[in-house]
Amino acid sequence: MIHVIMSRIVILFIALFCSADCMMADSFFIESSIKYKVIDNEHVNVAIQDDSLYSFYALKNDVLEIPAVVKHKGKSYRVKEIEKYAFTTCCAIKHLKIDEGVEVISDYAFQACANLESVSIPSSIKVVGAAPFQYCTCLTTIVVNKKNPVFDSREGCNAIIVTQDNSLIVGCSATKIPSSVRCIDKYAFMGCLAEVVAIPEGVERINYFAFSSCPNLKKIFIPASVESIEELAFDNCPEVISIVVDKNNTDYDSRNGSNAIIYSSDNKLIFGCSSTIIPQDIETIGEFAFSHCRKLQRIVIPEGVLCIADGAFEYCSNLKEVVFPTTLEIIGGASFGYCTSLESVTIPRGVYSIDSDIFRGCISLQKISVDSANEVFDSRNDCNAVIDTEQNKLVVGCKGTVVVDGIKSIGSRAFYKSGITSIHLPSSVESIESAAFKDCEYCMSITVEDSNKTYKSAGSNSVVEKATKELILACTTTQILPEVKVVGAYAYMNTPSLVILPEGIISIKECAFSECKTLQSIILPSSLKRIEESAFYGCKDLVHVALKSKDTEIHKFAFPFDKKLGK
């Protein structure tokens, strides 16, 4: 915890970082435009380059050569490692040559080097981290020295393969996967621009994110040898139109020309695309199966499907219509999250389990109806919400929701990132769970029925809990009532650029202003005793904080100092 005047907090942190830089001044140096970090008396690492986006324009023949030995002030150092994010977004590099002696290429070391065309890996490299060449969209040549005992690029395949277990860990648009490869590892082709990646017979495993974010990928063929396809292996590949699984595969299939990958034993569809026709005998739509399928506008889920798993249709931004089967029983978390074109849904009679945030980010969703024969949920009085009938609890809301009389509680994340513009709480509402209205950035009007015994609004455009005097819900137009003592967790859905908290407030709870991206300045009262963890988490534009008391207890992670310091 920190007990200082807020105006001194930033100064204190800046001073600490400046003193750290002074102490480490001799631990960094630059030679031939490359920044190094001293590890010990004999070794240095290639550090994160300063302003790498615009640096290195003086590269000879567009070649970046990482030396094995570098001299500085008359002393020689061995270069051991290229550190994480070292050359991220350095667009001046076209050709990368790493000298013999360098041992480690860390995670994301050359991420998004958009003009990088060729990479030469020496025999000394012992470790290659996760996705070192992720989003290097021009990369077509990858050569590993034949004497490297750990990695190889056999058969001129333009890839990095772990020799011992035949795992392909780095590929590119020109990669030809050898038949000896057994695993396509995580992130191997992430961001690759290839339209077709031929997975040969012999590959047994495709790990998560292996082909994620391949914007041009159109055709996928899964050979008979594949035994395992991990979740999100083909995530965010919006152009895919053809998916075929070899008929001899015993674990997966694409039955009836469905243009999908189906886990055969469980009848679970694990990956689909805009041209997928879901077969009649499917029981589960798997996790993230259609995620980021932006061309999908309408989906008919056939009778027999029992479960739609977490994130199944997340980020299908053009999805306008969903037809659910009467057999459906379970709808998982964020299963239709950020389907920003979705306007209307009907929950069938058999559904007995619904996660609260199934429609998070569906800012256009106006109408939710529950089949009148459903015994667990209802949408009474055309309220455009899902109500837990037994508990009288609103569990899923949307832009068009009306909180009708008789509802006793509003569940956590019920309106998370919805497009709701106004909220009225009737007298029946007794409890509002944490984050029920989190990130409802379009809401500008909040009222509470005068006869409500638990909450009040009194024309303040807020919700205040009477017993605790806690501000439960607030927005840009809120005028804080004089009796308020506490700003509650996730209280603010949105804010003006300047917020002035009045005297009398003694506590700001965790995540009270979380993700209020328009907040730039806040003035905090002398009565304030405590600011809890992540109170201002995600307030990316918050630059001015004025605190009148030196005795306020501030959690060390209450403010996003890293943002203000440009870290």
119-155 confidence digits (pLDDT tens)? 999 999 999 999 999 999 999 999 999 999 999 999 9
Gyration radius from the chain CA atoms: 28
pTM of the shown model: 0.86
Q: To which residue do tokens 């960094």 refer?
A: 28
486 within 8 A of 468, measured Cβ to Cβ: yes
Distance CA 402, CA 415 (A): 12
- Measure CA 202 to chain center: 33
Total residues belonging to the chain: 567
Q: Show Cβ contacts of residue 44 under 8 Å, excluding neighbours closer than 6 positions.
A: 36, 37, 38, 70, 77, 78, 79, 80
Are 284 and 329 contacting, i.e. CB atoms less than 8 angstroms apart? Answer: no
Q: What's the confidence (pLDDT) of residue 24?
A: 42
- Per DSSP, 21 falls in state H
Exposure class string for 525-544: b at 16+ Cβ within 10 A, else e: bebbebbbebbbbbbbebee
- How many whole angstroms separate alpha carbon 276 and alpha carbon 257? 9
Q: Which amino acid is residue 138, in one-letter code?
A: C
CB contact at 8 A, 393 and 411: yes
Q: What H or E segment, with its residue span, contains residue 368?
A: strand 367-370
Q: Which amino acid is at 231?
A: E
E strands present in 188-283: 196-198, 205-206, 219-222, 228-229, 242-245, 252-253, 261-263, 268-271
Residues of the chain with pLDDT under 70: 1-26, 52-58, 561-567
3-state class (DSSP) for residue 231: coil
For the stretch 468-517, pLDDT in tens is: 999 999 999 999 999 999 999 999 999 999 999 999 999 999 999 999 99
Nearest to 70 by CA among 43, 94, 49: 43
